[in-house]
Amino acid sequence: MLQYQFQVHKPITTAHLAQTMTLLSLSAFELKQQIDSELAANPALEIIEERRCPHCKRVLPDNGACPICSRPMNTDNDEPIVYVSPMDDFIPMSDYDDSDFSEEPFSPATDDLTSYVIKQIAPELSKDQQLIAIHLLTNLDDDGFLSVKLVDVARYFHVPISQIEEVQKVIQLADPIGVGSINPQQALLIQLEVLSENNSIPEYSIDIVKDHMDLLSKRQYSEIAKKLKISVQRVEKIVEFISDNLNPFPARSHWGNVRNPSAPDSNVYHRPDVLISFSNNDPKMQMIVEIVMPYSGTLQVSPLYKQTIKQTDAELKDAMKGDLERASLFVKCLQQRNHTMQRLMLELVKIQKPYLTKGEKFLKPITRASLAGELEVHESTISRAVSGKSVQLPNRKIVPMAAFFDRSLSARTILREIVSAESKPLSDTEIQKKLDERGIQVARRTVAKYRAMEGILPAHLRQAA
């Protein structure tokens, strides 16, 4: 990984500049495709595998120490660690069951998710079923899983558990697919089922999820292969399919405009491009930022190829030299991309730390342009780096990176708070005044717009609940 952290020089050629820009605008998933095709087209490029940290599975740098596990533990240093983290594998299941951040002061998006799902399924359900659906959907956790037991719900409604399951099934089939499952495994199975209706899914993928989930999350592919009596390569292929197409945490990919389902995201599963967490999950501790790289190895120009070129005839030499040039350019550009991403994220998390620790109210309204000024890069650079990327927050929610630049999120959050605390319906002008008292200056007209965005009715149609 050392080469990702090289001091990167200013781009010299326009080709370098252009390709760096292209790479910068790619998400981790798109980057993987790009690297794949480059790798296939150019024999001078190769990936060398790296040793992995036995604790966290991260790739170890040349000097041997894992940058996360063996980082200096001094807490007085609150400079966040930014690390390029290769994640070609399944998102670790262990992510799920350690301490839960759902009690953190983040306002859960479940309200939005609840109504979003209900709108989709309400027509299919009877009145009684709707009640059950609402009950289930109001008991979702941040990952989109049920936080109540089906048996308890059945008892609560005095109906057989099969009826509850029937409703649950309808919910699971709604977008985001798999929502309302009881665990990642169930969510994956549902997604496989849905996927198999229109596409072919690899043989054994269902078996793996159904019977060997524990092995899957521990990445013990050879064990799985043994049990199913198929080759390890085959298992790896299937795992790749699963991690490319499925989402073990339905709600985490649920972002975007809830009130505008007309533009649903084509992809079921959004993998984050950046992971933000705190060491020991403690917000007071050091922040860890991981830039996700799609490969676990280091991309480099093949030394072997360099050797071979010397012993080759003059005619072929030119072509090979071309490859070599191209390869080294690509590697440089990739380094540059990662370097830029690191600088960007470091600055971003430093500025938005209150948001990451204390919730949406504390999101600072910054512009891409201002950040570009800080980093002394062109604003279009920031623009490219941000667009189309997603970030997993410490509370495990996945949001578009653009959310860090949302000018109105904190205002809208506070607005919601004001409205829910009102004793009598407040007019927009009054709300504007209240916002002003809390340090947010917006026009009255804007209050109206925020209100609409949050789905809050105008004052005269609002009854003090």
Partner DNA sequence: CTATGGCACGGATT
Partner DNA sequence: AATCCGTGCCATAG
Contacting positions for DNA (CB under 7 A): 367-369, 379-380, 382-383, 386-387, 402, 405, 407-408, 425, 427-430, 441-446, 448-449, 451-452, 458-460
Q: What are residue 342's phi and psi, to 5 degrees? A: -65, -50
Longest Cα–Cα distance in the chain? 87
Report the nearest approach of DNA to the CB of residue 120 (Å).
Answer: 23
> Residue 310 or 460: which CB sits closer to DNA?
460
> Residue 185 or 446: which CB sits closer to DNA?
446
Reference 67, options 5, 125, 16; nearest CA is 5
Instruction: Give the amino acid at 374.
Output: E
Report the nearest approach of DNA to the CB of residue 370 (Å).
Answer: 7
> Residue 105 or 365: which CB sits closer to DNA?
365
Please state at what angle helix 379-386 crosses helix 14-24, rounded to 10 degrees: 40
Report the nearest approach of DNA to the CB of residue 391 (Å).
Answer: 14
Reference 328, options 306, 312, 313, 310; nearest CA is 306
Report the nearest approach of DNA to the CB of residue 363 (Å).
Answer: 12
> Residue 22 or 408: which CB sits closer to DNA?
408
Report the nearest approach of DNA to the CB of residue 210 (Å).
Answer: 41
Alpha-carbon separation of residue 462 from 45, 119, 413, 426 (angstroms): 64, 21, 18, 9
Q: Distance between CA atoms of 432 and 223, rounded to whole angstroms?
A: 61
Report the nearest approach of DNA to the CB of residue 369 (Å).
Answer: 3
Are 87 and 272 contacting, i.e. CB atoms less than 8 angstroms apart?
A: no
Instruction: List all residues 6 or more positions away from 103 whose beta carbon is below 8 Å from its beta carbon.
Output: none
Report the nearest approach of DNA to the CB of residue 415 (Å).
Answer: 12
> Residue 143 or 428: which CB sits closer to DNA?
428
Reference 268, options 204, 183, 172; nearest CA is 172
Report the nearest approach of DNA to the CB of residue 425 (Å).
Answer: 7
Instruction: Give the amino acid at 168.
Output: Q
Q: What's the CA angle centered on 349, arms 374 and 252, to 5 degrees? A: 135
Provide the H-helix boundaries in 160-220.
Answer: 161-173, 184-198, 205-211, 213-217
> Residue 33 or 380: which CB sits closer to DNA?
380
Reference 53, options 76, 83, 31, 97; nearest CA is 83
Q: What are residue 46's phi and psi, to 5 degrees? A: -150, 160
> Residue 52 or 364: which CB sits closer to DNA?
364
Reference 184, options 396, 375, 390; nearest CA is 396
Report the nearest approach of DNA to the CB of residue 386 (Å).
Answer: 6
- 177 burial level (CB within 10 Å; 0-12, 13-18, 19+): buried
Report the nearest approach of DNA to the CB of residue 40 (Å).
Answer: 29
In the sheet where 398-400 sits, what is the strand order? 81-86, 287-293, 274-278, 390-392, 398-400
> Residue 368 or 396: which CB sits closer to DNA?
368
Report the nearest approach of DNA to the CB of residue 288 (Å).
Answer: 26
> Residue 120 or 383: which CB sits closer to DNA?
383
Are 278 and 101 contacting, i.e. CB atoms less than 8 angstroms apart?
A: no
> Residue 20 or 302: which CB sits closer to DNA?
20
> Residue 105 or 455: which CB sits closer to DNA?
455
- Type and span of the H or E element at 292: strand 287-293
By DSSP bridging, strand 274-278 and strand 390-392 are parallel
| Residue linked to tokens 């919730």 | 359
Alpha-carbon separation of residue 187 from 175, 196, 198 (angstroms): 12, 14, 18
Report the nearest approach of DNA to the CB of residue 181 (Å).
Answer: 32
Q: Distance between CA atoms of 146 and 187, rounded to whole angstroms?
A: 11
> Residue 274 or 288: which CB sits closer to DNA?
274
